[in-house]
Structure 1
Amino acid sequence: MSTLIATHSIGKNRCRAQAKQQGFTLLELVLVMLIIGLIASTPLAFIDNQDNQLRYDETLAKMKLIERAVYNQSTYQNQSLLSGFVVDNGVLPPTSGMASQDPSELFPLIGKKDGWNIDGANDWVTFSGIKPYLKLAIAGEFEVPPPYTQLKGYRGPYLQEGVDSEGEFLDGWGVGFEVSSSAAGDYQFTYIGDDGSHPAPFNTRVSGAVSSLDWQVPLSQLNINVTNYSTTVQEVAIAVFQNKAVSDDERWTTYYFSIAAASGGVPSIERTVTFSSSEWQKKGIGSISNPETTYIPAGQHPIFVVDSTQVINAYDRLLVIPRSTQPSLQLEVD
């Protein structure tokens, strides 16, 4: 009988031990409370810095997009590919003239719509085939025939990625970039980190620019050779499109040079002339005294050889590539 009682007692103790093991011990509860306290006391600065770093990286990427929208040069199968606002239009995007963070400063790169022509040039031609207009000394002024049309004009948007639902292009904190341009042909865009709207350590300025030599080439660097076998004087002209004027003919600027006839009227005598720095002319101005600071925008430009009767005797296109050795263009007139 006593043996049975001892066995029963042991069984009860075992049940009690199992019941106690089903809950948390005091030590476990203390450890859990300690962990919760540590998590709750962890500062949110790390999370904030991670978020601000992403915003900063986004801002720098957007500045690169602005640069490419103004002018971009890439290579495909060893061929230079030029794109951007200045290639299509021959001029920089219009700005208000004063450095400003107003989002409207970037509207010309976003889309052609009412209100974006903030410099007063309200009649920008849309991208299409446009006939060049020549202004020469001997041949006079005339629009060339349709076969010589050029694909020029505004074909935005040049900025597409990163534009918000309001049609604005802002930095990672929703603040406008500071945009301005200079008479020398520079286009500047700046992240104004120190304007009080950006947290440390991202509260410093970061500047970007497309300089005048990034998208233009001086006349003095062009290399055009002309051979005139004919018995008449010829004018060699490069027609430059600039999409900022009130009429079609005013959108074209002509730089030219007169080529003498073959000596004695003998066609077999070769007369080769190179457009050197002292030979360029412009109607209404005469000889260009500063071809080193007279610029041709990047892109393709038509070259014509014309006689006094406005007959085009030779034609080609010159691809102008900034910060590069310009290709030599050879023209002949029989």
Structure 2
Amino acid sequence: PVFFFFQSEAEGRSVTGALNFDPAPDAQTLYKAMKGLGTDEQAIIDVLTKRSNMQRQQIAKSFKGQFGKDLIESLKSELSGNFERLIVALMYSPFKYDAKELYDAMKGVGTSEGVIIEILASRTKAQIKEIIKAYKEEYGSDLEEDIKSETSGYFEQILVCLLQGERDNATLYVDTTLALQDAETLYAAGEKIQGTDEMQFITILCTRSATHLLKVFEEYQKLAGKSIEDSIKSETRGSLEDAMLAIVKCTRNVHCYFAERLYHALKGAGTHDGTLIRVIVSRSEVDLNLIKAEFKRIAGKSLSSMILILNLVKAHYSF
């Protein structure tokens, strides 16, 4: 359902929006596409995937003004499956979309830890602040309290620390003495002792800037004779391990992190369509082209070609 994001891949563009934009005719096109029997899905694709998020918000406003209907609700009533999921995702503003994904990850039976980790580990301080605000406005609930109620132990603590957004206090200056001290603290908290002092890892990973952490990882490698990733893998398990590794990967190269998320969503048994949709929609106006370049390096083939092959297989076997 996400292949049409790549129709202009040869030009290397992600979603940039339409020039000479007027929301009124777009709203009329969408109304006609959903009026009467059947739905003109191609018309919906042609409009919504070629507009920026800000333009889609204006289309929704025009749709409500002209026809007295909520565009998202109209789309939901006409569409189904992953196509509905994608088109509805396009209609949310970025912060409301992240808030929705977090809410959906926690509601019902079980919690989708991977979704929460992905969003909180990859967003900036300013973005997290807006997500918390949007979550409160949309669901009348406190995001931190909901996360606390759905998680526990060190995993809960690392998510709550990420919510504070301290990691994004970026500066070009790095205190090399403090970086070495942090590396020694991490080494002493893991490889050097029986067991692991998880809170030391959580505190340093969640409160230091990316530039500082890169120096810490460099010094840690010298001390431990192994990467911080390898130590995390040997010292922790489960969702806590996933969260720590996500922070490290986002610190080293956030584009590579998302490329890996997409690669793992596409390979192996089953396909995680939710991850595909969320990553592509949320990064389409941010850094999708850079993610696509990293994906090709990792997978040896383009993201669009893998998605196209997957869609053909699904259509053939009626998945």
- Above 0.5 in TM-score? no
Question: Greater Rg, structure 1 or structure 2?
Answer: 1
Identify the structure with the greater strand proportion: 1
- TM-score normalised by length of structure 1: 0.20
